[in-house]
Structures are given as structure tokens and as C-alpha cells.
Chain A
Amino acid sequence: MTGRWSRGWSGGAVVALWMVLLLALWEGAAWYIANVAQVTAPASKLPYPHLVLGTLREHFRPLLEQGAITFGNSITGFVIGSAVGCALAVVMSLSRTVEHTLSPYMVASQMVPIIGLAPIVYGIVHDAALSRVLMAGYVTFFPVTINTLRGLQSVKQEQLELMRSYAANTWALYTKLKLKAALPGLFAGLKLSGPLAITASIIVELMGAPDGVGVLMISSLYYGTSQVYMFWSTVLVSVAIGLVLFLLISLAERLITPWQPEFRANGGEPR
């Protein structure tokens, strides 16, 4: 999946085609439950997509503004969480003892449900922006640590022997070899945790933050069927900002690690 998404803009046409097909299917299904199946309040089950898109366009300004708030805080938390994740991975790769000491706590930290942690964090810091940043960082660091650590440990024996034969110190070993070799793993972790960071921010907003796309989401839920199109619009906005983050990460991966087999011009075959 990651390969396909990051293969670039040539696949864009295919994606657009699928989008159109999906919308057509959705439209058809909405028509079916409203007119053939005749369920009560069909819009609250599955509204017509053209009406959702209409609402999206009508309220584009506030949706965009609130989405930007969510996105901004998520990114901040994501960046901080990634930095912490990388640092943890490096420390753990330096020492087996540290790795064995930290691992159980890290795993346990991921067992705490975000939906339970978000109100606690919000209750303590009482600041929506800071809570979003903290929660986004919290869900980010684990996948980043695990994948970066695996990348750091992926270095081959002969590569290590080579660096040893140059009498390379730890700094050189990391900057010239290990960190470079870990980059594909780091990006795998970032792609996993990027969308998670956005979700975590939205959950904080559902818990009573004053702004963000999650607030629009929950307030439109309170008003039942009349706001159903608004609700679906907020869902679409959430999906969109998740996708934007994912695409940004993929783009960065392409630029920073162009040597990876899937980015090679001719599929990695020798010329």
C-alpha cells in the first residue's frame, strides 16, 4: 500500500477514477435506502454525497479553519513524538540493557486507551492545544521507536565489520551507517503514526475542547438529523487532513531516501 501511495502522481488518475466510482456507488446506495428500502430517516443512515459535498462547500471556511487548528496541533505533537521516538530508538540500540528496561513500559503505555487518557490529560493541563499536542505525540512515539529500532538493527554484519576496520567511533558509526540504514524503518513508523496523531487530536476535541474539527463533529451530532450533512462533512475533513499528512510523509521519504528500491527509476535492475 505504501508503495502504491508514494509511487507519485502517475497513479493520481487511477485514484481520481476510483473516487468518482466510489461517489457514484455511494449516491446509488443512498438513493436505494431512501426510495426502495424506505427506511426511516434515511439521511441519518447514509446521506446523499452530493448534499454532503454541498454542505462542505457551504461551510468550507469554518471547516477549513477548524481543520487547520486540528492539523496544526497534530503536526506539532507528531513532530515532537517522532523526535522522542527516534531518540528512544537510538538509546535502545546503544544498549541492550536499556532496551530490555524500557520495552515493557513502552508496550504498557500503548495499552492505555486514548479515549481514556485524553480526558485525563485534558483535565490536568486544561489547555486544548497542549492536550492535542501531547496526545498526538503520545500515539506517535511508539510506532516510530519500534520501526526505527528495527531499522537501526537491520545493519548487516559485514557493514559493521567494515566500519570497525576503519576504526570508526560510535558517532561515525551512527552518522555514516546506522542512522542512514534506519531511515526506511523510520518512515514506515511515521506513516503508521501520522494518521494516528490526527485521530488522537480529534479525540481530545470530542472531550470538550473549545475548537478543532472534532468540536464541529460532536456539536453536529447533538442536533440529530438536521446536522447530519455537517457531521459527514467533518468526517470528510478529518480524512482529508489525515491524507495530507500521509502524503507529506511519503513525499519526504521520496526526497530523503531516494535509494530505496521502490523509488529507483528502473525497478532496481542494474543498467
Chain B
Amino acid sequence: MLSDEAVPSTEIAVERISMVFGKKDHEVEALRDVSFEIYKNEFVSLLGPSGCGKSTLLRLMADLLEPTSGRITIGQEHPREMRLRRKFGIVFQNPTLFEWRTVKDNIELPLEVFGIKKSEYSKISDQLLEMVGLTPFKHHYPWQLSGGMQQRVAIARALSLDPPILFMDEPFSALDEFTKEKLQLDLLEIKKKTNKTIVFVTHSIPEAVFLSDRVIVLSSHPGRVHSILNMDREEGSPSLVRQSGLFHEMTAAVRKCFYKESDSLDGQMV
């Protein structure tokens, strides 16, 4: 194997993707000529205002949509191939738990569908429950949990088949600020433990800066890649990182993308 440090290997390649929704006369151009690469074991955020097509982009990578033109490859393969081989997990903004299943049963859903024996997957779900800190709640039903806990279940469920890639579509945007910060920390912890490649869609600049190795900034109507920014990281406790000068510098750099983009928006963007 080649040394990983020198040349990061490409996990996901997005090449000249365009996406148009609707039929003639009612066409909406969601994405225009979008290209970028995501490297193995990287944490990348797709950041942009609503209407920039970031969720669409994620769904294209996950083979939930077909692009109008362009090509996406994941590890040299078509996303469909990767989906059929269960090579990625997805977390949506809405936890999308099945309300008739307990927490543990929800986590085991992908394993059941995959056809793994019950005796084997019980151990897997127990480990995941431990990782997301929900072991005492494993026999609870989704409606008995807070929003943050439900989203933890969704994360554990996405990890249950141990896929190399995790797609997350604004997973924390419906949560209150405190829960959000806690879950961001936990996600970084999970990232450290599992070393997944994570593609994270968000409209929050601080969230993207705090979590990501790189931030892909998208502009809207139609969605295009505005710029791709490397996030420098400072070592230290997370609360320190959030208050550090470097963090503010990075946030400012990302913010500048939006202000520079259209002068008419300047000062109006809050």
C-alpha cells in the first residue's frame, strides 16, 4: 500500500455534476457543473444557504437521486454499486426512527435487512449503544427520547453495518444549541474512534468550521462550488478551540465567501 501521509487517496469524486428538477417549463436548476473530491477518512462539510443544492448533492452521492449530467464515483465505483454493497450510512435532519421499534431494534434495522443472524447483531447493537451512550435506554421507544437522543440512535443505526462512509444531512439543525454542541463533540469522538469518511451537510458556518477538515462552500441558484477551504486545527479542549483566535479566523474566512459573493447582499445577510 502507498503511504497515506504523502498523497491522500480519493474516496469520492464528483465530476461536473448538474442537476435539474421538474419538467419542461417548470425546470429548477439545483446544481450546475459541480466538481470536487473527498479524500479517505476526511471530514468534509458541504456548506451553503438554503437552495444551494447541498442536500441534493448528498442524495446524489448516496444514489437516492440520479444526476442530470456528470458523474460521481465512490472508490472508483458508481454510487449504486456502493449502495448495494452497503458502503455508506445516512443520517437525516429528522431522526427517521421507526416508532414501532425500540431503540435497540431501530439500530438493528440495517442488520436485519442485510440478513445478519440475530445472535450476531445483538452484540453489534450493544456496542453501538455503548458508543452513543444510550445503553440504559435500549428498550425505550423513540417517542420516549429527547430529540438529541433520537439523533444519537440515528447515528448508531447509520454505523451498524460499519460502512466506511457516513453521509449526514443537517443532522443537528433541529436541535437546541446545547444539545447541538454536545452532539458535535460526540461526533468528533466517534470520528476519532471509527475513522469514517464523513460528508456533512450544514448551513451553520461555526458548525462546519468546528467539525471539518475541509469545507466546501456552495453558492445558490443554481448551486455551484464557490470555494474549498482547508480548516486548520488547533489542539486543545473543544471549548478552547471554539474560543480560539484560529477558530474565529477560519469562521471569518468562510463567512467572507458569502459576503464577497454578491455585493447587493452585503450587510443584509444576517
- Where the two chains meet, the residues of A that have a C-beta atom closer than 8 Å to any C-beta of B are 156, 158-159, 161-168, 172, 176-177, 180, 257, 259, 261, 264, 268, 270-271
Contact = CB atoms under 8 A, between A and B. Distances in A.
B265 to A, nearest CB: 31
A259 B92 CA distance: 22
A163 B113 contact: yes
A268 B144 CA distance: 7
Nearest to A165: B90
A158 B94 contact: yes
A229 B259 CA distance: 86
Interface of B: 59, 62-64, 83-86, 88-90, 92, 94, 96, 98-100, 109-110, 112-114, 140-141, 143-146, 161
A270 B144 contact: yes
Given A165-B83, A166-B114, A180 B98 contact: yes
Given A176-B109, A259-B141, 7 more contacts: A161-B90, A166-B110, A167-B86, A176-B113, A180-B100, A261-B143, A270-B145
Contact of B64 (A159, A161, A168, A270): A161
A121 to B, nearest CB: 39
A264 B63 CA distance: 37
Chain B, interface SS category? loop
The CB with the most chain B CB atoms within 10 A, among A176, A177, A270, is that of: A270
Nearest to B160: A166
A263 B110 CA distance: 27
Nearest to B94: A158
B59 to A, nearest CB: 8
Contacts of B114: 166
Given A166-B110, A167-B86, A168-B113, A159 B144 contact: no
B100 A162 contact: no
A162 B141 contact: no
Nearest to B96: A158
A268 B110 CA distance: 26
B83 A264 contact: no
A257 B99 CA distance: 10
A270 B143 CA distance: 6
B143 A268 contact: yes
Contacts of A167: 83-86, 113
B112 A165 contact: no
A162 B144 contact: no
B55 to A, nearest CB: 11
A259 B98 CA distance: 10
Contacts of B109: 166, 176
Contacts of A261: 143
Contacts of B64: 161, 164-165
B71 to A, nearest CB: 20
Contacts of B62: 161, 165
Nearest to A268: B143
Contacts of B94: 158
Closest 9 CB pairs of A and B: A166-B113, A158-B96, A259-B100, A168-B113, A167-B84, A166-B110, A172-B113, A259-B99, A165-B90
